[in-house]
Each structure stands twice: as C-alpha cells, then as structure tokens.
Structure 1
Amino acid sequence: MESFLSSQRFFNKKILIAAMILLLVFTGVIVAQLNKTVIINHDGQQTEVKTFASSVEDILKKEGIQLNEKDKVIPQLHEKVKDGSTITIHRGFEIILIDAGQEKTITTAEATIEDLLKSLNIELSKLDEVEPGINNTLHPGEVVKITRVEESLLVEEQEIPFQTIIRYNDSLEHGELVTTQEGQKGLKEVKVKIAYEDGIEISREIIEEKIHKPAINEIVEKGTMNYIVTSRGEVRRYKKVLTMEATAYDAGYESTGKRPGDPYYGITRSGTKVRPGVVAVDPSVIPLGTKLYIESTDSTPSYGIAVAEDTGGAIKGNRIDLYYEKRSEALKFGRRDVKVYILEQ
C-alpha cells in the first residue's frame, strides 16, 4: 500500500513539473508576441523602440512624443500595430490658400496639394485651375491658388446692319445723291460662350450664328457730272481739268514776229482772227477748237471762257498762252499757274 502511494506521488510530481514547463513555454510565447519592435519616423529622425503597447497612441505616449492638433499620424492613433510596423508623424505647417480670390492661412500636415484639398473638403470642377499643380508636394509657406473657372452660354438676337453701296452716275449733277434702293436691317441669332475667372468675365467667343433675316443693302447713286460756275455766273459742264503754266501775248511784233500789213498779222493757227478769249496751246495736249474755261489760282480775276485756236513756238506741253489786245495787259499778266477746264462742246 505504501509503495503504491509513493508511486502515485511521484507520478503527480512529474505531471506538475510538466505543467509548469508548459506554462513557462506558453508565457514565453505570449511575451514574445506582445513585445514588438516598432519604427517611429518623426521630426527628421527615425527611432526604433520595443514595446508591449498595442495601439499607436499608447506607443507615442510611452515614448513621450507630443502631438499638436494639426499633426498627422500614420497609422491613425486608434489603430493597432504589429511587430515591424512603422509609425510616421507629419508635423503641421502653415500655407496660404487663395480660393476664388479669398485668402486665408491654413495649418496642415498633408503631403500634397491634392491631399490638402481633400482634407478641407474642397471640390474642383473640370475647368478650375490650381497653382502649383494638384500633384505637387506641399512645403511650409506654400501659396496655393485656386482659380474658379466657369463658362456660360448666352443666346441673343442681334441686328445685322445694312451696307451702303455707292454707284457713280455721270448723268447726275456732280455730288447729287439719289437713293435707288432703301436699306433694311437683318436679324440673326448669336450663341456666345462667356468665360469667367473668380466671377469676373475674361472672354466672349461667338460659337454659332444663324441668320433669320438677311440685311438688304442701301444703293445710292452719286452724280459725277462735272460742272463749274464761271465768273459770270454761268454753269458749264467740263470733261477734264488741268493745272497749267500760263503766259500772255498780243498781236504785235514782240509776241508774234508780225507787223501790221503782214497778211498773217492777227491771224491764228486756225485761220481765225485773233481776239480776246483766244488762247495758244500745244495741240498734242489740247486739240485746236477745244472750248476752255481759264480759272485763276490766285486772287487775280479769271481769264474766263476761251477757245484753243492758236499755237506758239514756245508753247509746248503743259503750257498755255492767253491773248490780250494791249501789250501792257500781256506784260502785266506775266507768268503764273492757272486751272484749265476742258468744257463739253
């Protein structure tokens, strides 16, 4: 009986020892699982810590790492960490945000402009512009500008102005105007795309036009009949006007080389008797027999109505010689420019 009890005690002792060994092994496994190695990136440095803490928040508190309100922690504070995990702390910094012309200072820990806008619940339309680019990295003191771009379509009716067409008519008095067709305005529908930046219009572009009623042009005939009013008040039509160098002559020997008694004394190249109103010309410029009106270009009286009946050895090209009965009048005239109107016959 005693031997049996001794055996029983020995067996129980072995079981106890085995149980203790198992407990130690299990405890070691649990401890090994709870004790983790974690990397903390913060303030420009990297720290490796061993910890039994399970959450990001607990680890940072245990390490004495203080957080500001706008700091960003990855993973988030409530998340659990595993062995080998990395905790990254992005410290908040100030940037300037200009949105549609409204400027404000923002404290953020976001890495990119896109992340910044998401964190602020700022939405962009397809036309909005962001400077710098939305994928750019944020830096302290950065100025982020959002330009709000909008487009609208304006449909309006517009008048089409008519054009005035001038047609020249030499059967009408010079300068006379006669309307032969009344002008009428047209009507068109115009679609205009208007672009705005931050609520301010920056451009207008016509993208479509539809003509509902075409314009009818006004037609005006303008008289081109040339006429002058002579010094005597007569209205005479003319075909052409020339500015010429004028001299004067008389029937005497000094002007013609002929004296009284000469059969050709006082006779023109045309065979007519010289008289006031007869002028000598170059027939290649003004044909003989042409009726003229000689107008003074200065304050002296105009010579008046004349006829080209004579020629002269010195009268070549753009020159004209005016007949006066008295030698003194011819000398007084001298040499001057005149306007020579070639009259209608």
Structure 2
Amino acid sequence: MRSFRQTVLTKSSREKLLRWVSLALMLAIAALYFSLPAFAQNKYVITDGDNVIVCMSASTDPQVVIREAGLELGESDTYTTQKQDGVSQIKINRVQMVSVYEGGQMSVVGSYGGTVADILDALDLTLSPNDVLSCSLDTETYDGMDIRIVHTETDTITYEESLPFETKRYESGALAPGEEVTLVEGADGLCRYTAEVIYEDGEEVSRSILSQHILSNPTDAIILRGVDRSVKEQEFSDQPNYFPASTTRPWEESGSSQPAAGESPVIPGTDQTYSTLLYCSATAYTCQDKHGVTTPGTTFSGTPARVGAIAVDPNVIPLGSKLYIVSADGEYLYGYCVAEDTGGAIKGNTVDLYYNTYDECIQFGRRDVLVYVIE
C-alpha cells in the first residue's frame, strides 16, 4: 500500500506566495505597458511647400518624424503641427530670402511666405502714384525673389540746341587749279525746344518734343575749289557761247579811274583786285521780246538798260558798286559790270544780268555765279 506525502502550507506561507505572484503580475503589466509604444504606428501628413509626404512613425517628436521622412530643417526654418480627423499634420515653413530694390538701395527680407504687399509692409514702404512695381502687390513670394520699385517723374523743360551747318563744295574754273576759296563761313543756327522728359530713379529714359522754335537758321559754308579750266573748255567746245565776257570796265567809259592796286586779292585771270566775293544766284533779263522787237529801257538809276548794267538787291550790293561776274563752274563769264538796277524778285544774294537778246536770256536761264565786288 502506497503512502502519500502531504505538504501543508501554513497561513504565513500562503500570504508570502500571494505577494510574489502579485508582484510578478504587476511587473508583467508594466512591461507590457511600456513596450506598447515601440510597436504602435502613428500616421503623419507633412507639407513642405508644394511637396506633401504621408508617413507612419512610432515617434511623437515632429523633428524626428521630419527626419524620418527624409527632410531637413534649415537654421531659420520652422514648423507647425495640428490634428485633423485624427491625423497629425506637420507644416514646414521654409524661410524665403526676398530682395527689394528701391531708390538705388537693396534690402533683403526673410519671409515665411505671403505676398509682395506683406514684404513692403515689413519694410514700411509706401508706393506713390508715380511708382512702378515690377510685380503686382498680390503676387506670392518665393525664395530668391527680386522686387523692384522704380520712382518715375515727368517734367516739362525748355532748352536750346545748336543747328549744325552744312559745308557745300563747288568746282570752279574761275579759280586756279587746286585753289580753294571760302565764299561763306559756316555758322550754326539755334533752336529752342520744349519737351516732356520722363525720369526713372532720377535718370532720363525718354524725351518727347512738344514744340520747337528756330531762333536762327544755320548758314551753310560754301567753298569753291579751282579746276583746270582748259578741260572744261574742251568739254563745252561744241556748245555755242551766248554769253561773251565784258572785258572792258564800264566805269572807265564814264571817265572813272581804275581802283588802285594794293595788297588785296586779285580776281583769277585778271590784274583786278577786289574787296568782297559773293556767291549768288543769277538770272537774265532783256528789253527784247521773244519776237525780236527791242524796246529801250531805263534802269532804276536812270541810266539806259544795257549789257554791263545789272539789277541787284541794294541791301546786299549797293547801287553803283563796280562788279566782276563769272559763273561758279567757270563755264560763262559776264565780266565787268555796274549795279544800276533793281527788281521786285531780286532779293538777297540774287542778281539779274542784262543781255541784248531774248535768246541769250533763255540760254542763260538760272545759274550760280561768283560776284567780285571791285575795290
């Protein structure tokens, strides 16, 4: 017959065992409690500008979550968090460096987004009606953005400018080959302008002429250069010469003496000195009609109209002046003559040469001449 050994627990032993079991249970519960976060996963939505990332993380630290998402925060970058529909939202605010150019100065502003108007407010800049902004006030800012403010101004001014003269050169067989004579010294004219000027940041960018008034016209310089007259004579040798030169001095016929020779310039091809050389436009007139009928005429001075008595503008060439006239190209020579007549159409540097026949006048037409005023 088997015998059984019984173990009898005393009351104190049972209490001691119960305490150990309770302690073990508490430790197990604590271990389970602290191990739960290691296995729990939270959902996060990270917004970084236009980039949106959805991720899961066991961490509750936003900076850790951001790093786990592969993003980095700059020194000046910030973030905000919020819960929406049980999902943790993290918004990254990247600093934007915006440059503002105004009045020749540049300012750099750090911003976390906004509009151009916000940037101007931050700098305490107020636009005037004449200011031009490089973009609209409601434009969203971005990193590296340039904003330019241009101050414009419109002014009406009056000023004077010179009108440059031109230099006209003519060949003349009346001068020695290679010789140059300045008939008229060039002089600039003067014009007064009224203009509207637009300035940007103090610099002129456009000018519109509103009106102009010529105070004085420019005087063109006229220069004659001598050419070989024999060549010109060959060129025109087959043309009839309707304008024979007057080789006698009309004033000598009336008993006047020849002007004394001195240090004054001499008319080319003669021994005659002169005091003034004029560049004129010449026409021709006669007392004969186109049918060949001649009616004697009288000059303004009361002398008979004849070859050697010409019409002038007394304001330019005084009546009674003794002259010597040759065409500017040296082709025709009128020769010695006297200013005795005037005419309604003879104004300024214009002379009217008398010829005996109507045909001679038609052949002469109008041409430029050199008028030597005899001393």
> TM-score, with normalisation over the residues of structure 1?
0.34
Which of the two has greater strand per residue? 1
> TM-score, with normalisation over the residues of structure 2?
0.31
